[in-house]
Structure 1
Amino acid sequence: MTNTMNAVAYTKNLPISDDASLEDVLLPLPEVCPKDLLVEVNAVSVNPVDVKVRSGKDPAGIPTVLGYDAAGTVRAVGPEVTLFKAGDDVYYAGAINRGGSNSQFQAVDERLVGGKPKTLDFARAAALPLTSITAWEGLFIKLGLSPESTGTLLMIGGAGGVGSMVIQLVRALIPGLHVIASASRKESQEWVRSLGAHETVRHGDALREDVQRVAPDGVDYIFTTNSAGQLDAFVAILKPFGQIVAIDDPGHVDVAHLKSKSLTWHWEFMFTRSLFQTPDMIEQHHLLNKVASMVDAGIIRSTVTHTFHPINAENLRKAHAIVESGHTLGKIVVAASEPH
Structure 2
Amino acid sequence: MSVTPKTMPAVGYLKSLPVDDDESLLDLELPVPEPGPHDLLVQVEAIAVNPVDYKVRQGNDPGGEPKVLGWDAAGTVVAVGDKVELFAVGDEVFYAGAIDRPGTNSRFHAVDERIVGRRPTTLSFAEAAALPLTAITAWEGLFEHLGLRQSPEQTGTLLVTAAAGGVGAVVTQLARALTGLTVIGTASRPETVEFARSMGVTHVVDHHQPLPAQVAEVAPGGVEYIFGTAGTDRNLAAYAEILKPFGGLLAIDDFGAVEIGLLKSKSISFHWEFMFTRSLYRTPDQAVQHHILGEIARLVDAGSLRTTATRDLGTINAAHLREAHRILESGAAIGKVTLTGF
> TM-score w.r.t. structure 2 length?
0.97
Q: Residues 299-318 of structure 1 correspond to what in structure 2 (within 5 A)?
A: 299-318=304-323
Contact 1:204 1:230 in 2 (8 A): no
- The alignment status of 1:46 with 2:46, answered yes or no, reads no
Q: Residues 92-171 of structure 1 correspond to what in structure 2 (within 5 A)?
A: 92-146=95-149, 147=151, 148-171=153-176
Contact 1:123 1:334 in 2 (8 A): yes
Pairwise CA RMSD of aligned residues?
Answer: 0.9
- The alignment status of 1:284 with 2:309, answered yes or no, reads no
1:258 and 1:183 mapped to 2: Cα distance? Answer: 25
Contact 1:91 1:115 in 2 (8 A): yes
The aligned residue for residue 252 of structure 1 is 257
Paired residue for 2:187, among 183, 190, 194? 183
Opposite residue 33 of structure 1, the aligned amino acid is G
How far residue 17 of structure 1 moved from its aligned partner, in angstroms, is 0.9
After TM superposition, the structure 1 stretch with the greater mean CA deviation from structure 2, 229-238 or 209-218, is 209-218
The aligned residue for residue 90 of structure 1 is 93
Paired residue for 2:80, among 65, 77, 80? 77
2:86 and 2:291 mapped to 1: Cα distance? Answer: 11
Paired residue for 1:330, among 303, 318, 335? 335
Opposite residue 71 of structure 1, the aligned amino acid is A
Paired residue for 1:9, among 1, 12, 16? 12
2:254 and 2:313 mapped to 1: Cα distance? Answer: 29
Contact 2:188 2:208 in 1 (8 A): no
How far residue 205 of structure 1 moved from its aligned partner, in angstroms, is 3.9
Q: Deviations 1:102-128 (Å, cap 9, x if unpaired)?
A: 001000000000000001110100000
Paired residue for 2:196, among 192, 195, 199? 192
Q: Deviations 1:74-123 (Å, cap 9, x if unpaired)?
A: 00000000100011100000100000000010000000000000011101
Opposite residue 267 of structure 1, the aligned amino acid is W
For residue 38 of structure 1, give the secondary structure of its aligned residue in structure 2.
Answer: strand
Listed as ranges, the gaps of 5+ residues in structure 1 are none
Opposite residue 7 of structure 2, the aligned amino acid is T
Paired residue for 1:26, among 21, 26, 29? 29
For residue 228 of structure 1, give the secondary structure of its aligned residue in structure 2.
Answer: helix
How far residue 286 of structure 1 moved from its aligned partner, in angstroms, is 0.5
The aligned residue for residue 208 of structure 1 is 212
The aligned residue for residue 219 of structure 1 is 223
After TM superposition, the structure 1 stretch with the greater mean CA deviation from structure 2, 203-212 or 36-45, is 203-212
Opposite residue 157 of structure 1, the aligned amino acid is A
2:168 and 2:205 mapped to 1: Cα distance? Answer: 14
1:252 and 1:162 mapped to 2: Cα distance? Answer: 23
1:229 and 1:319 mapped to 2: Cα distance? Answer: 27
Contact 2:308 2:336 in 1 (8 A): yes
Instruction: Say how many residue pairs are matched.
Output: 336
Contact 2:118 2:294 in 1 (8 A): yes
- Percent pairwise identity: 58
How far residue 155 of structure 1 moved from its aligned partner, in angstroms, is 0.1
Residues 204, 230 of structure 1: CA spacing in aligned structure 2 closer, same or farther, 3 A cutoff?
A: farther
